[in-house]
Amino acid sequence: MPPAPRPAISNTASFAFIAIWLAHPALPPQLPAWSLAAALGGMLGVWVSSRYLPAKALRFMLAAILLTSGIRLTLS
C-alpha cells in the first residue's frame, strides 16, 4: 500500500496564515511586501543553490542556519 500523500507546502502556509489571522485579526499592512520578499528570496536561493553550490556547501550552510537558530532559541 503506498504511503498517504503529504500536504503541499502551500497548504501548510495557508494553515499558518489562518492561525495568525485568528490570533491577530488585524494583520500588518506590510504583510504583502514581506510575503513577496520571502517568496522571491526563496526562489532565488533555490536557483542559486541548485545551479552553483555543491552538496557539501549546502550541508554546511544548513548546519550554520540550524546552529544559529538553536542558539537564538536557547538564549531567548
Confidence band, pLDDT 50/70/90 cuts, at residue 3: low
Look up the pTM and report it. 0.49
DSSP-based three-state secondary structure for 29: coil
Chain position carrying cell 522571491: 40
Structure confidence by residue, pLDDT tens digits, 23-72: 877 778 898 899 999 999 999 988 888 888 898 988 999 999 999 999 99
Q: What is the rounded distance in angstroms from the CA atom of residue 4 to the CA atom of residue 16? A: 22
Q: Quick one: pLDDT at residue 51?
A: 87
List of residues 6+ apart from 46 with CB closer than 8 A = none
Would you kindly state where each structural domain of the chain is located, as residue ranges?
A: 9-75
Q: What is the rounded distance in angstroms from the CA atom of residue 65 to the CA atom of residue 70? A: 9
CA angle 26–27–31, rounded 5-degree value: 165
